[in-house]
């Protein structure tokens, strides 16, 4: 059974080069720099709140496919409110545009395995700013739309 191993520093645990360790089945980032991305969450929440003022078919035109998935996961149509429960699948979709990942089964306890997708990079800070930029571009069209 495989273990995490960084190709840059040969660390067997979570190191500075790990952008995200993504639990594919649980759809959750369990480690790495992207784990607590509150800044991105706040940024997206603001834009989504703006979009609650807009007709739903217009929202569908304004959002990219991956943002639209996140929108439907976060929008309470009855209350007309936004709550982002799980940003991780969206972040991983964006990160996949930037970094080649490896998907492997890893031991998660005695006799059990979990599938993780791992994103390592030798310049994680640079990748984080590229990811922010990518999300900003993804949001831009919606942000500038008139209500």
Task: Choose, by CB under 5 A, the member of 14, 15, 30, 98 that binds Zn ion.
Answer: 15
Minimum CB distance to Zn ion, residue 80 (Å): 45
Minimum CB distance to Zn ion, residue 132 (Å): 21
Query: What are 97's two structure tokens?
Result: 């545009």
Q: Is 98 in the site for Zn ion (CB under 5 A)?
A: no
Task: Choose, by CB under 5 A, the member of 8, 106, 132, 141 that binds Zn ion.
Answer: 8
Q: Which CA distances in Å does 94 have to 17, 112, 135?
A: 18, 29, 7
Q: Which of residues 116-145 bind Zn ion (CB under 5 A)?
A: none
Binding site for Zn ion (CB under 5 A): 6, 8-9, 11, 15, 17
């Amino acid at each position: 059974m495989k273990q995490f191993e960084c190709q840059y520093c040969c660390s067997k645990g979570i190191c500075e080069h790990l952008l995200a360790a993504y639990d594919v089945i649980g759809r959750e980032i369990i480690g790495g720099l992207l784990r607590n991305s509150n800044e991105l969450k706040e940024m997206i929440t603001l834009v989504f709140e703006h979009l609650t003022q807009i007709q739903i078919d217009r929202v569908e035109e304004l959002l990219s496919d991956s943002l639209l998935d996140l929108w439907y996961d976060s929008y309470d149509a009855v209350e007309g409110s936004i709550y982002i429960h799980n940003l991780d699948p969206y972040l991983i979709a964006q990160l996949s545009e930037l970094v080649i990942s490896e998907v492997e089964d890893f031991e998660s306890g005695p006799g059990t395995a979990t599938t993780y997708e791992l994103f390592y990079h030798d310049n994680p800070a640079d990748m984080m700013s590229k990811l922010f930029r990518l999300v900003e571009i993804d949001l831009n069209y919606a942000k500038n739309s008139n209500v």
